[in-house]
Amino acid sequence: MPEGPELHLASCYINTVCAGLIFSGKVEKSEVSKNSEVLFESDTYLISATSRGKEIKDREGLSQNGLQQPMDLVFRFGMSGSFKLTSVAELPKHAHLRFYTKESPHRALCFVDIRRFGRWEVHGTWQPDRGPCVMLEYEKFRIGCCLGGGSSP
């Protein structure tokens, strides 16, 4: 199961591969996924990510005309979730959520989840009972552990 460091690396991956990329169109969900539809569509948008514990928050937004409101998606990876940027011709079999680039030939940033235990939450927020992030809030994490408060993994 992906832990804090793996999700932190995944957010770094998203920010690295999406730097300078313009995305366009609808966010597409696979037919077999039981997660909710992501009703987001824009002529142009950017993607960035942050992590906190076992969650990643992706932000889609910043349309060219400034009218599109940013939307947050919070991902929980389950047992095997990950992100991959690939050509549309080589989409992974278990790409359950896809964001398409505007460039030609198109590429897709995909949430790949072989076991389908991963989840996303549209307009999501961090879990309210989540303790400090071991990667980004280490001192708070250590204090909580020392005081018996621990963290919610």
3 is catalytic: yes
2 is catalytic: yes
31 is catalytic: no
Catalytic entry in 29, 54, 55, 132: 54
Rg (the chain; Cα; Å): 16
Report the alpha-carbon distance of residue 52 to residue 74 in Å, rounded. 10
Catalytic entry in 2, 29, 57, 60: 2
Residues β-bridged to residue 45: 23
Using alpha carbons, select from 99, 72, 113 the residue that is nearest to residue 18. 99
Count Cβ atoms within 10 A of the Cβ of residue 19 and give its class: 0-12 exposed, 13-18 middle, 19 or more buried.
exposed
Report the alpha-carbon distance of residue 1 to residue 17 in Å, rounded. 23
Which residue has tokens 């987001």? 40
CA 124 to chain centre: 11
Residues labelled as active-site residues? 2-3, 54
